[in-house]
């Protein structure tokens, strides 16, 4: 009897997609056993979202609509954002990815925002904030006759709260922090992530104004405004501030920039409020207490006979707008204020993924003028048809409640169901599920090396490239291995020139090409476009400055850049990137190999006493000529579970160091782990024995002249922190294209 094909095979899921779904999306029981198939998940989502039609039409054919939604998702023509796939039809029921919360200039408002942040992160969402309302550091506080600590100190409170929620075992939260460029503490904000020890749960962006950018162009002074009384409290040279932003972004990718006046120029409801911030990846400007649910059309599914199937695309756009409007009704919001504001404006964000796939199928190079023109045409079609679909829903269901006074409120204008319709988001994990390229990004790699957990090395090849290579007779496993080691086919002569031209990667095209494509899509997008401008490691500060200015001049609403190898925590994914990293490595790092170091007969070291909730813990750290080598622990109280666990931690840390793992990575894994019996307060607080070990390592490194901030990850190629897969920088975030790990999810 023939073996029945699995539902995964029927859906056409790739191996990576199945891994991501089983690990992150499918329902599980209390013991972690998976309770549904991917087909079950899509049916659960389709049924839940279709059922919202009954709120508007008691006789609605919900079964037929559910089938439409199910087919659209299982054909991978459209997928909603991850929270909708995870939570629709489940008790949590929180379906939105994007939230913005206000941060007012009082202790009550600030800590209300901290509490609301925790509730949103607990529900699986990410949050954006503007800290521009907070009075500057050392400003007067009349209620206490004291002085204020400023926005940066309170950002750390939000960061710690986010870290705590992550440690509670829920889906990790992410934050966006924006500060206006005319805030008195702007220079401190620009530098706040320079050491990469703090605010690791934040992306940061400077909120630029038109006045500031004009002052940059003319090398003029501009005014700093105290938000407490709206009075001028100083001036800075705009060009010097701009150059500091650029230099810091060149060094580690942050801060990004957001053009606030442009966000508010396109604010559909100016009478309701001013846009101050965006979601964590920057593509969704929102008013305070707004949320937005996003979804993406997979463009690779609409190429038929070497041309775009516009008729089919229009059908999916109409159904996608219907789907996303229904999500607003089906959603279980974490706060009443968010429920009310979201229903009042009904913003949705329909975008796309698989753009690079479509260009490849059409034989159009990503960096060509033809690709830019097609990008404008495709996005105009999606935006226009999306607005028409929203108008049709408006005729049946009514306009969004804040329609009066909105940009749509004109004599004779049709009703409008949604204040915004289109957004281009990074599609990280859903593009893995759809087996498509991400967002409007070029390919990250044509072929790459994947190291799986048992240390077996596998070569992953783009399926379209593999198909073409086999059809044209130049496929071989040796060639795929060679391409994986390069990460690109640009300099591989065995690959025909016409194939090399269309299979370009993020690092094959110029930063200007990245901006031109972002600008093309921004012209016809209601909200903003999430895109990363990739630079080689050798890029200069002037290169970054030119791109920032080009983004401003070409109409972008913001820009995020990433210079290869510039962040301490970058996970290397191609041999070329390892070469870049080696340039910046210290002599000690270059000597470290991915092999276990033998122990000399004698080592030098120090013993640190740490007070834990289980009693004093003595931590001995020894070094050899290459750096930290081993760690031993002794509990003040003999025996017990705490002593055994501490000994185990010491053994594992020693093994890690002897095998080439950096000390900062050990600290990162252990720092802040909590147990039932913490000890101390403030800077002296020890939350567990593991936390004590991490703090002892930090103290040891500081005392012995180590620079913990400049240590570099030396993981194997492709080593995602969770699975060893390839990691891509997109939209200000890092996403693993094997297991779906995301630092912003």
Average pLDDT, the chain: 87
Give the tens place of pLDDT for each residue, 77-88: 999 999 999 999
pLDDT, tens digit (0-9, with 9 covering 90-100), for 8-35: 556 889 888 998 899 889 999 988 899 9
- With beta carbons less than 8 A apart as the criterion, state whether 584 and 712 touch: yes
Phi-psi region of 93 (alpha: psi -120 to 50; beta: other; left: phi over 0): left
pLDDT of residue 307: 97
What is the pairing mode between strands 202-208 and 256-259? Answer: parallel
Rounded distance between C-alpha atoms, residue 8 and residue 28, angstroms: 17
Confidence check: pLDDT of 411 > 70? yes
Residue 129 contacts residue 177 (beta carbons within 8 Å): yes
Lowest mean pLDDT among 337-346, 518-527, 658-667: 658-667
The pLDDT assigned to 637 comes to 58
- Averaged pLDDT, 536-547: 94
The per-residue pLDDT for 581 is 35
Contact 389, 318 (CB under 8 A): yes
| Confidence band for 580, pLDDT divided at 50, 70 and 90 | very low
Q: Which of 376-385, 422-431, 581-590, 690-699 has the highest mean pLDDT?
A: 376-385
Q: Report the share of the chain in percent with pLDDT over 70.
A: 87
Q: Tell me the longest C-alpha to C-alpha distance in the chain.
A: 88
pLDDT tens column, 430-457 = 999 999 999 999 998 898 876 554 455 6
Checking if the pLDDT of 570 tops 50, the result is no
What residues form DSSP beta bridges with 221? 237
Banded model confidence at residue 4, pLDDT cuts 50, 70, 90:
very low
Residues classed as catalytic: 279, 281, 283
Confidence of residue 181 (pLDDT cuts 50, 70, 90): very high
More confident residue, 4 or 580: 4
Lowest mean pLDDT segment, chosen from 2-11, 106-115, 376-385, 645-654: 2-11
Q: Which 8-state DSSP code applies to residue 574?
A: S
Q: What residues does 207 pair with on adjacent strands?
A: 180, 258
Q: Average the pLDDT over 371-398 and give the result.
A: 98
Could you tell me the pLDDT band of residue 592, with boundaries at 50, 70 and 90?
A: very low
Question: Is it the case that residue 207 has pLDDT exceeding 90?
Answer: yes
Q: Which pairs from 365-374 meet CB under 8 Å and 24+ separation?
A: 365/501, 365/502, 365/504, 366/442, 366/502, 366/504, 366/509, 366/513, 366/517, 367/504, 367/508, 367/509, 367/510, 367/513, 371/517, 372/516, 372/517, 372/520, 373/520
pLDDT band at 735 (very low <50, low <70, confident <90, very high): confident
Q: Which residues contact 96 (CB under 8 A, 6 or more apart)?
A: 81, 83, 84, 125, 291, 292, 293, 327, 331, 333, 342
Query: Residue 271: is its pLDDT beyond 90?
Result: yes
Instruction: List pLDDT tens digits, range 493-519.
Output: 999 999 999 999 998 999 999 999 999
Residue 25's SS3 state is: helix
pLDDT at 433: 94
Mean pLDDT across the stretch 139-156? Answer: 85
Quick one: what percent of the chain has pLDDT higher than 90?
A: 64
Q: For 58-62, 355-359, 370-374, 563-567, which range has the lowest pLDDT when averaged over its residues?
A: 563-567
């Amino acid at each position: 009897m023939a073996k029945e094909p699995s539902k995964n095979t029927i859906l056409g899921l790739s191996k990576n997609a199945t891994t991501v779904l089983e690990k992150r999306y499918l329902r599980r029981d209390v013991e972690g056993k998976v309770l549904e198939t991917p087909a079950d998940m899509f049916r659960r989502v389709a049924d839940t979202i279709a059922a919202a039609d009954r709120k508007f039409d008691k006789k609605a054919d919900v079964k037929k609509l559910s089938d439409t939604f199910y087919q659209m998702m299982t054909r991978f023509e459209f997928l909603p954002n991850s929270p909708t796939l995870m939570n629709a039809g489940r008790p949590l029921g929180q379906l939105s990815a994007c939230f913005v919360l206000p941060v007012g200039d009082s202790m009550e408002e600030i800590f209300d925002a901290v509490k609301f942040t925790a509730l949103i992160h607990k529900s699986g969402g990410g949050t954006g904030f503007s800290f521009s309302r907070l009075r500057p550091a050392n400003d007067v506080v009349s209620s206490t006759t004291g002085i204020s600590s400023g926005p940066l100190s309170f950002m750390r409170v939000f960061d710690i709260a986010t870290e705590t929620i992550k440690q509670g075992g829920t889906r990790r939260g992410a934050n966006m922090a924006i500060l206006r460029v005319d805030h008195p503490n702007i220079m401190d904000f620009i530098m706040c992530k320079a050491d990469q020890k703090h605010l690791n749960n934040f992306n940061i962006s400077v909120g630029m104004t038109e006045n500031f950018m004009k002052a940059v162009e003319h090398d003029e002074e501009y005014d700093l405004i105290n938000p407490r009384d709206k009075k001028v409290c100083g001036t800075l040279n705009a060009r010097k501030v701009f150059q500091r932003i650029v230099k810091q972004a060149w060094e580690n990718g942050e801060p990004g920039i957001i053009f606030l006046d442009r966000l508010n120029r396109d604010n559909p409801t100016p009478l309701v409020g001013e846009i101050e911030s965006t979601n964590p990846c920057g593509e969704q400007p929102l008013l305070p207490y707004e949320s937005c649910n996003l979804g993406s059309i997979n463009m690779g599914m609409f190429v038929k006979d070497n041309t775009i199937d516009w008729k089919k695309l229009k059908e999916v756009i109409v159904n996608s707008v219907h789907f996303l409007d229904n999500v607003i009704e089906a959603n279980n919001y974490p706060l009443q204020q968010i429920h009310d504001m979201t229903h009042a404006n009904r913003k949705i964000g329909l975008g796309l993924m698989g753009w690079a796939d479509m260009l490849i199928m059409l034989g159009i190079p990503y960096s060509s003028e033809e690709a830019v023109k097609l990008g404008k045409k495709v996005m105009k079609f999606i935006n226009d048809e999306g607005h028409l679909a929203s108008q049709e829903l408006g005729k049946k269901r009514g306009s969004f409640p804040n329609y009066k006074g909105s940009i749509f409120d004109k004599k004779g204008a049709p009703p409008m169901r949604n204040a915004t319709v289109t957004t281009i988001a990074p599609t990280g994990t859903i593009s893995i599920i759809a087996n498509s390229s991400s967002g409007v990004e070029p390919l990250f790699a044509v072929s790459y090396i994947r190291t799986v957990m048992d240390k077996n090395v596998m070569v992953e090849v783009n399926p379209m490239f593999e198909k073409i290579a086999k059809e044209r007779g130049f496929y071989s496993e040796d060639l795929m291995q060679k391409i994986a080691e390069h990460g690109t086919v640009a300099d591989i002569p065995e690959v025909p020139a016409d194939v090399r031209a269309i299979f370009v990667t993020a690092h094959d095209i110029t930063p200007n090409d990245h901006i031109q494509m972002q600008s093309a899509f921004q012209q016809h997008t209601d909200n903003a476009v999430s895109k990363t401008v990739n630079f080689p490691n050798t890029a200069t500060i002037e290169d970054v400055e030119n791109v920032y200015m080009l983004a401003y001049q070409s109409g972008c609403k913001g820009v995020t850049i990433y210079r290869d190898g510039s962040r301490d925590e970058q996970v290397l994914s191609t041999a070329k990137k390892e070469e870049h990293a080696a340039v910046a490595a210290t002599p000690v790092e270059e000597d470290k190999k991915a092999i276990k170091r033998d122990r000399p007969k004698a080592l030098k070291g120090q013993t640190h006493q740490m007070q834990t909730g289980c009693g004093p813990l003595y931590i001995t750290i020894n070094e050899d000529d290459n750096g930290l080598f081993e760690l031993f622990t002794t509990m003040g109280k003999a025996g017990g579970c705490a002593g055994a666990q501490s000994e185990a931690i010491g053994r594992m840390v020693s093994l890690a160091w002897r095998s080439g793992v950096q000390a900062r990575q050990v600290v990162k894994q252990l720092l802040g782990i909590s147990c039932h019996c913490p000890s101390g307060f403030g800077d002296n607080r020890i939350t567990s024995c593991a936390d004590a070990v991490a703090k002892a390592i930090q103290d040891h490194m500081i005392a012995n002249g180590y620079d913990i901030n400049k240590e570099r990850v030396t993981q194997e190629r492709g080593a995602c922190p969770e699975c060893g897969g390839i990691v891509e920088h997109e939209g200000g975030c890092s996403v693993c294209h094997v297991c779906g790990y995301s630092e912003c999810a």
